[in-house]
Amino acid sequence: MCRNKMIWNPERECAEREQMRALQSRQLSAMIQRMCDHVPFYRDRLKERGIEPGDIRSVDQLKSLPFTTKADLRDNYPFGLFTVRQNDVVRIHASSGTTGKPTVVGYTRQDIDIWAEMVARSLTMADIHSGDTIQIAYGYGPFTGGLGLHYGAEKVGATVIPISSGNTRKQLQFMTDFNATILACTPSYAAHLGESILKEGISPKDIKLRAGVFGAEPWSNEMRREIEKLLHIKAYDIYGLSEVIGPGVSMECECQCGNHVFEDHFIPEIIHPETLEVLPDGEIGELVFTTVSKEAMPLLRYRTRDLTRLHREKCDCGRTLVRMEKCLGRTDDMLIIRGVNVFPSQVESVLMEMSETSPHYQLIVRRENNLDTLEVLVEIDEKNWSDSIRELEGIRRRIDHNIKSLLGISAIIRLVEPNSIERSEGKAKRIIDHRKKGV
């Protein structure tokens, strides 16, 4: 039974395991049928493996099914993977294609309703409800962040400020004048807003924020503490990706022990990124989703390229939904330096533990004489730096030592001026890899 009353859909979110598996199995079977009926791509893929739609009856059979990748979405650009006719599609989103074509996702009326419910469940986890004023500083447009949060926030009855991203001055004005209680944006933009509040000398009394819902890029727990301190709020992680639905695939409850995955709609698996084998709970690997209830564009075992692990122990909030840890990074953010796997989030965690440096850093990777070098630029803290070379060098040596003991490789640490590393209003540029330019 659920002890906590702040649960949007207790029947689903607190379902017994067997009940959940039965629901997943039913939905999976129906999804495979829809895919085979309407999408040649899936029909052929399954046929290659000798799988007939009627064969799939249990969620246990998921591991025998083929994967779908971003490249498959691109090959079937724009609507090749839609399982419904165009007149049933009520919305199209597209992710910013940094390489090649954008990734296109369609939604039916029901998909939009389910999405709104997922975000409503998420906001309820953070105790956001009617009476709250939510400032949505995610971008509105083809990116799923803005509109995704928007519909869920309306569904819980909150007052929505659809300000979209950017224009920091206006953000601060709306935040103070409209008494926003909740901020939703990327974590790096939240940090930027927090710093801007200090810089503009706005009194904490004029800021009514009490919680933030942050996502769309990986962030560490240390970054969370930094944002919580800057904005005097509780910061929650919302996870999502446009291919699956957008924000609202998983969300942190008040226990903050990982994000609950809404597995009645999105079945997660963790696989080894190279052998593609399914890994047991607790092991780190690539997150894979099967979106069993999606109508317009269901995905079969979609490889997210996000690295994390799953936990199924019971959560104190009462939800039985499987939890995923904060993403360690993306398989493509992972730098391999001298054979060692390095994630920007690891460097961030080192810096966040030190009061003399700011969370702003950049990793620069080069290859010199066939040897990889890692240079880490770290901004000194604007208020808290010493003018003694001895102390500054001490800080540099400590960063050096801590990074070396965490990563197992040495890096060149360079202290740089505050505010000298480019700030992002959207996603942070943490890595410059000169090796990719064919040098």
Partner 1 sequence: MHIQQLSIFLEDRSGRLTELTRILAEHDINITALNLAETTDYGIVRMVVGRPALAKEVLEKAGFSIRLTDVACVNIPDEPGSLYRVLKILTEENINVDYMYAFSNRDVALAVIRTADISGVAGILEKRGVKLLSQRDIYQL
Cα 94 to Cα 293: distance, rounded to the nearest angstrom = 20
Cα 58 to Cα 22: distance, rounded to the nearest angstrom = 8
DSSP 167-216: -HHHHHHHHHHTT--EEEE-HHHHHHHHHHHHHHT--GGG----EEEE-S
When the beta carbons of 92 and 416 are compared against partner 1, the nearer one is: 416
388 lies in the binding site for partner 1 (CB under 8 A): yes
257 lies in the binding site for partner 1 (CB under 8 A): no
410 lies in the binding site for partner 1 (CB under 8 A): no
368 lies in the binding site for partner 1 (CB under 8 A): no
431 lies in the binding site for partner 1 (CB under 8 A): no
DSSP 101-157: SPEEEEEEHHHHHHHHHHHHHHHHHTT--BTBEEEE-SPPSSSHHHHHHHHHHHHHT
284 lies in the binding site for partner 1 (CB under 8 A): no
389 lies in the binding site for partner 1 (CB under 8 A): yes
Contacting residues for 33 by C-beta, under 8 A, at least 6 apart: 53, 54
Beta carbon of residue 362, minimum distance to partner 1 (angstroms, whole number): 13
Tally Cβ neighbours within 10 Å of residue 11: 10
422 lies in the binding site for partner 1 (CB under 8 A): no
315 lies in the binding site for partner 1 (CB under 8 A): no
200 lies in the binding site for partner 1 (CB under 8 A): no
Beta carbon of residue 357, minimum distance to partner 1 (angstroms, whole number): 12
When the beta carbons of 283 and 382 are compared against partner 1, the nearer one is: 382
Pick from 397, 420, 429, 432 the residue near partner 1 by CB under 8 A. Answer: 420
Beta carbon of residue 229, minimum distance to partner 1 (angstroms, whole number): 21
Among 123-131, 252-260, 268-276, 412-420, the segment contacting partner 1 (CB under 8 A): 412-420
Beta carbon of residue 398, minimum distance to partner 1 (angstroms, whole number): 15
- 120 neighbors 152 (Cβ within 8 angstroms): yes
Backbone angles phi, psi at 106, to 5 degrees: -110, 155
When the beta carbons of 57 and 414 are compared against partner 1, the nearer one is: 414
Contacting residues for 32 by C-beta, under 8 A, at least 6 apart: 42, 46, 53, 56, 65, 300
Tally Cβ neighbours within 10 Å of residue 155: 19
380 lies in the binding site for partner 1 (CB under 8 A): yes
Among 16-24, 30-38, 137-145, 410-418, the segment contacting partner 1 (CB under 8 A): 410-418
- 230 neighbors 214 (Cβ within 8 angstroms): no
Strand partners, 432: 364
201 lies in the binding site for partner 1 (CB under 8 A): no
343 lies in the binding site for partner 1 (CB under 8 A): no
414 lies in the binding site for partner 1 (CB under 8 A): yes
Tokens of 240: 């999502």
416 lies in the binding site for partner 1 (CB under 8 A): yes
354 lies in the binding site for partner 1 (CB under 8 A): no
Unique residue bearing structure tokens 């390489």: 99
Among 31-39, 232-240, 288-296, 387-395, the segment contacting partner 1 (CB under 8 A): 387-395
Among 64-72, 168-176, 272-280, 382-390, the segment contacting partner 1 (CB under 8 A): 382-390
When the beta carbons of 69 and 420 are compared against partner 1, the nearer one is: 420
418 lies in the binding site for partner 1 (CB under 8 A): yes
Beta carbon of residue 390, minimum distance to partner 1 (angstroms, whole number): 8
When the beta carbons of 163 and 376 are compared against partner 1, the nearer one is: 376
Contacting residues for 159 by C-beta, under 8 A, at least 6 apart: 132, 133, 134
When the beta carbons of 201 and 280 are compared against partner 1, the nearer one is: 201
- 278 neighbors 64 (Cβ within 8 angstroms): no
Cα 215 to Cα 146: distance, rounded to the nearest angstrom = 11
392 lies in the binding site for partner 1 (CB under 8 A): yes
* Best CA proximity match to 248, nearest among 353, 376, 156: 156
Distances in Å between the Cα of 410 and the Cα atoms of 65, 290, 297, 365 are: 42, 40, 45, 12
Among 31-39, 168-176, 342-350, 388-396, the segment contacting partner 1 (CB under 8 A): 388-396
> At 425, which amino acid appears?
E
Beta carbon of residue 194, minimum distance to partner 1 (angstroms, whole number): 19
Pick from 35, 104, 385, 395 the residue near partner 1 by CB under 8 A. Answer: 385
Query: How many residues does the structure list for the chain?
Result: 439
Among 213-221, 236-244, 254-262, 389-397, the segment contacting partner 1 (CB under 8 A): 389-397
Binding site for partner 1 (CB under 8 A): 380, 382, 385, 387-390, 392-393, 414-420
